[in-house]
Amino acid sequence: MEHRRPASDDPIARFLELFAVAKRTPQIPEPTGMVLATVGEDRRPSSRVVLLKSIDEDGLVFYTNLESRKGREALSRPDVALVFWWGPLESQVRFEGRAERVSDEEADAYFATRPRGSQLGAWASEQSTPIATRAELEAKLADVTDKFEGMPVPRPPHWSGLRVRPTAVEFWKNRPNRLHERELYTREKQGAPWFVHILNP
């Protein structure tokens, strides 16, 4: 028996409506925070919080050092998952999809909007690699600060954005007696029609 039906709405548009509410809710200090889950070459999962920088019909974008653990894992095994949890709204949204690198033009445009300190930090930090002391990192920051003094800071070649193109979006809403609302939208590939499934809590 088929338990899915063609979606009458767009899950991205639905997410944006809920996201707008989250951004207006003072009890949610960082509504753009989302947990990114990736899988390494050893098949072990890892997760961390990253910040959503843009979202549209093409997917969700965040930025990172591509040589970091999350960057390496997302590019080598692009099937990833994202989770938003907004406690005051008693709502969770999960995305599953494939990650891909954004264009250099898009990455350059976003990097130019970052505070200068963050731009310099992107050059100084070899993200996810061990360092002996904090002083080592601060010394690298001092070096790149001197290097780019009096000039715009260019985007490092190892720093860019990743776009997650979703093929599944689940909305979860808390309800009494643990009879939560769960609606799962799925599609076979980018641009294909969405179907919606109502899930048991």
Q: What are phi and psi of 196, to 5 degrees?
A: -120, 140
Enter the tokens of residue 130. Answer: 């061990």
Closest Cα partner for 79 from 63, 94, 100? 100
Tell me the whole-structure pTM to 2 decimals: 0.93
Residue 116 is among the residues annotated as catalytic for this protein: no
pLDDT per position as a tens digit, 4-40: 888 889 999 999 999 999 999 999 999 999 999 999 9
Q: Candidates 2.30.110.10, 2.150.10.10, 3.90.1200.10, 3.30.70.260; correct CATH number of 4-113+157-198?
A: 2.30.110.10
pLDDT per position as a tens digit, 99-127: 999 999 999 999 999 999 999 999 999 98
Q: How many CA atoms lie within 13 A of 174 on its CB side?
A: 8
CA gap 132, 162 in Å, rounded? 29
Q: Which of 155, 175, 178, 187 is catalytic?
A: 178
Domain residue spans of the chain = 4-113+157-198
CA gap 181, 29 in Å, rounded? 25
CA gap 85, 81 in Å, rounded? 13
